[in-house]
Amino acid sequence: MARFSRSDFTLESFRRQLANVDALPQLCVLGLVSGVITGAVMVAFRLLLEAGAALYMTDGDPEAFESMAPWLRSLLPMVAVTIVGLLLYRQKPAARKLGVGHVIERLTYHQGRFPLRNWLNQWWVGVVVVLGGLSAGREGPAIHLGAAAASGLGQQIRLPNNSLRVLVACGTAAAISASFNTPIAGVIFAMEVVMMEYTLMSFMPVILASTMGALVAQLVYGNEPAFRIPEVALGSLVNLPWIVVTGLVIGLLAGLFIHISRSERVQAWPLWVRLGLVGIATGAVAWWFPQVQGIGYDSVAAALNNQLEIKVLVALMIAKLLLTALTVAGGVPIGIIGPLLVVGAATGALFGLLGAWLWPDKAANPGIYAMLGMAAMMGAVLQAPLAALMALLELTHTPSIMLPGMLAVVVACLTSRQLTGCEGFFISSVRYGLHPLQQPLMQALSRVSVPAVMERKLVRTARMITPDQARFLLETNPVWLVIERSSEEKPVLALKAAELARWLLEHDEALQGKEPPEDELIDLLEIPGQRLELAPIGLQATLSEAFLKLQDNALGALYVVHGHSPKQRRISGIITRDAIERYYHYTDPRRAEARDTDKRKQDSSH
């Protein structure tokens, strides 16, 4: 029976276990805790929205723009962009990065570490843009707040960076789950859009986080589905060609949205022009069609139940799409998924009504097409078909919709990618082309921290030592000797301990039993052997960070620094290129054995 010591349950032991690729139990614990934290943050954000809405909206409903006077709801967008311009754009550019794009950027280039200022800005900006009547969703702020809160937990207890990446995914999934009561969609969104990979080690903690996030939200808001829809069925298979046409049009609209939102021409305009245009355009449309304001979930529910007029559906399909894209291009940080669901539902409902006019006896209920439009638009813009399908299932609670849903989503995704050249909204927002998170080698190296592969058997020594001191150093059987230099400007060097041992043997043989000089010193920079120039790297770093740092040809290896204050810092190990290569190079044991056998036969024949 395995015996455990008290040291097995310390925080230091927990960190050390998380550095390995197989730390599944530890990651699951983090998933549970981060899910609870993120769920609480999401409840706080929704309560903040409701508290702000209670000041001037009917029944404190953040969606109740229709009940407001036309002049007031048209004035709100100008007030919102003014507040954003005065308070957000007076800060440094780095502090103005918010939302899902910021989450992916921090995960890609900063190992999942989030600045506190951006997190604080996201709270008030998320409230202002939604309650200010702009075409904005709450899921972008939710994902940023959740991912940063979960990552902050890991940063506070100084966890290795590979586990911070999983915590970001946990926070993202729990945020989506708590915001929409869609735990499965939260998991798929986190893996497909943010992490851009599917691995068992990430899946299980993310599932637990999403579950806990949903449970926390359900304790406050109940377990009701986001939208109530009547029982409907696809009916005749004649609808399938029309669904393909619907997906094709939605894919084109998705491409239009991405191209406008990424328009360099609009982004080159002065800030006051961009913000003013967003406020004026939104206010002008809102005078006649207040449904384009805010998140628009009430409009989605109405579209699913065939309760919207055709002119309102057209306004949601065209005006809300253009206003949302213009708001993004204008530099206002908003969530886009909520508005995209509205645009998709309106487009689908319009095609459903058109199909009912063309084939009165065969056409499916327009509500079916509204559901399909939601998923198709989300999947096409994000290039995340599986996340869109799971959102469709959990938002509507209609399993029969999945078959036509798969057809609509795939057609829309292919159209957006192939005909309009769009590779996904959030991938485009970080870097065009192959995203770093999509590179298999970097993904594999990001799952492990340097303590898992570093060489720990080392001793630190001065450059000049006596033979007796050299023998004392070798008593512990170190692999490396870290040579301390006379000044900090000179690079730290490492010498294989075997080189010193060989020199001592040759030295003793050369003496032939004679006593060595009393003042004899060994210069570790002069004895034969290869010396590696070292650079420091933190104990929390991942192998991907070490790999990128070793791309500098002057460096031979890295020494791993442990401790935070200068007086407490110590060298914990050395990591070389060979150690990293041994990690990601797989060798079939049978082939390796056969190769060794062949080599022994060749040696014996010679």
Mean per-residue pLDDT, 457-467: 86
Name the domain boundary from 413, 441, 469.
Answer: 441
Confidence at residue 257, expressed as pLDDT on a 0 to 100 scale: 96
Quick one: 332 and 187 in the same domain? no
- Asked if residue 85 has pLDDT above 80, the reply is yes
Range with the poorest average pLDDT among 171-175, 235-239, 361-365? 235-239
Quick one: 195 and 258 in the same domain? no
Query: How many angstroms separate the CA atoms of 592 and 458, rounded?
Result: 29
- Asked if residue 157 has pLDDT above 50, the reply is yes
**Is 227 a domain residue?**
no
Please, what's the largest Cα pairwise distance for the chain?
Answer: 110
Amino acid in position 446 = S
Mean per-residue pLDDT, 460-471: 86
pLDDT digit string, tens, across residues 291-339? 999 988 889 989 988 899 999 999 999 999 999 999 999 999 999 999 9
- C-beta of residue 142 within 8 angstroms of C-beta of residue 45: yes
Confidence at residue 521, expressed as pLDDT on a 0 to 100 scale: 85
**Is 228 a domain residue?**
no
Confidence at residue 4, expressed as pLDDT on a 0 to 100 scale: 45
- Asked if residue 599 has pLDDT above 50, the reply is no
**Cβ within 8 Å of residue 118, ≥6 positions away:** 94, 95, 97, 98, 102, 144, 148
CATH number at residue 480: 3.10.580
pLDDT digit string, tens, across residues 29-47? 999 999 999 999 999 999 9
SS3 270: coil
- Asked if residue 126 has pLDDT above 50, the reply is yes
Quick one: 131 and 53 in the same domain? yes
Confidence at residue 180, expressed as pLDDT on a 0 to 100 scale: 82
Report the run of H or E that residue 538 belongs to, with start and end: strand 531-538
The tokens for 230 are 């009547």
CATH number at residue 420: 1.10.3080.10
C-alpha R_g of the chain? 30
Quick one: 121 and 65 in the same domain? yes
* Average pLDDT along the chain: 85
Quick one: 399 and 492 in the same domain? no
Confidence at residue 438, expressed as pLDDT on a 0 to 100 scale: 52
Q: Which of 480, 453, 472, 473 is nearest to 534 (CA)?
A: 480
Quick one: 371 and 397 in the same domain? yes
Report the run of H or E that residue 561 belongs to, with start and end: strand 557-562
Mean per-residue pLDDT, 153-177: 89
Rounded to two decimals, what is the model's pTM? 0.83
Mean per-residue pLDDT, 134-155: 93
pLDDT digit string, tens, across residues 468-504? 888 888 888 888 888 887 777 778 888 888 888 888 8
Query: How many angstroms separate the CA atoms of 86 and 271, rounded?
Result: 11
Confidence at residue 473, expressed as pLDDT on a 0 to 100 scale: 87
Quick one: 30 and 111 in the same domain? yes
Backbone φ/ψ region at 557: left (φ over 0), alpha (ψ -120 to 50), beta = beta
Confidence at residue 564, expressed as pLDDT on a 0 to 100 scale: 58
Mean per-residue pLDDT, 520-537: 84
Quick one: 415 and 288 in the same domain? yes
**Cβ within 8 Å of residue 217, ≥6 positions away:** 39, 42, 43, 177, 178, 179, 181
Percent of the chain clearing pLDDT 90 (strictly above): 44
**Cβ within 8 Å of residue 408, ≥6 positions away:** 243, 244, 246, 247, 250, 372, 373, 375, 376
Range with the poorest average pLDDT among 115-129, 240-254, 503-517, 552-566? 552-566
pLDDT digit string, tens, across residues 562-596? 765 555 567 888 888 888 777 766 444 444 455 44
SS3 482: strand
- The whole domain housing 179 covers 7-221
Task: Look at 26 and 143; give whichever has higher pLDDT.
Answer: 143
Q: Name residue, tokens 């204008």.
A: 330
**Is 234 a domain residue?**
no
Quick one: 429 and 458 in the same domain? no
Band (8; pLDDT cuts 50, 70, 90): low
Confidence at residue 563, expressed as pLDDT on a 0 to 100 scale: 66
Quick one: 422 and 455 in the same domain? no
Query: How many angstroms separate the CA atoms of 410 and 375, rounded?
Result: 10
Confidence at residue 274, expressed as pLDDT on a 0 to 100 scale: 95
Task: Look at 336 and 526; give whichever has higher pLDDT.
Answer: 336
DSSP string, 393-410: HHHH--GGGHHHHHHHHH
pLDDT digit string, tens, across residues 429-442? 544 444 555 566 67
Give CA separation, 175 vs 324, 342, 380, in Å.
22, 20, 22
Mean per-residue pLDDT, 532-550: 83
Task: Look at 542 and 337; give whichever has higher pLDDT.
Answer: 337
- C-beta of residue 461 within 8 angstroms of C-beta of residue 552: no
Quick one: 437 and 468 in the same domain? no
How many residues are present in the chain?
A: 606
DSSP 330: T
Number of domains in the chain: 3
Query: How many angstroms separate the CA atoms of 16 and 31, rounded?
Result: 18
The tokens for 200 are 């068992």
Task: Look at 422 and 373; give whichever has higher pLDDT.
Answer: 373
CA angle 14, 189, 200 (to 5 degrees): 40
Neighbours of 589 (CB within 10 A): 7
**Is 344 a domain residue?**
yes
**Is 454 a domain residue?**
yes
Q: Compute the CA torsion angle 84, 333, 316, 396 (nearest 10 deg).
A: -130
Query: How many angstroms separate the CA atoms of 352 and 333, rounded?
Result: 33
Quick one: 65 and 185 in the same domain? yes
- C-beta of residue 123 within 8 angstroms of C-beta of residue 178: no
- Asked if residue 382 has pLDDT above 70, the reply is yes
The tokens for 192 are 């497909």
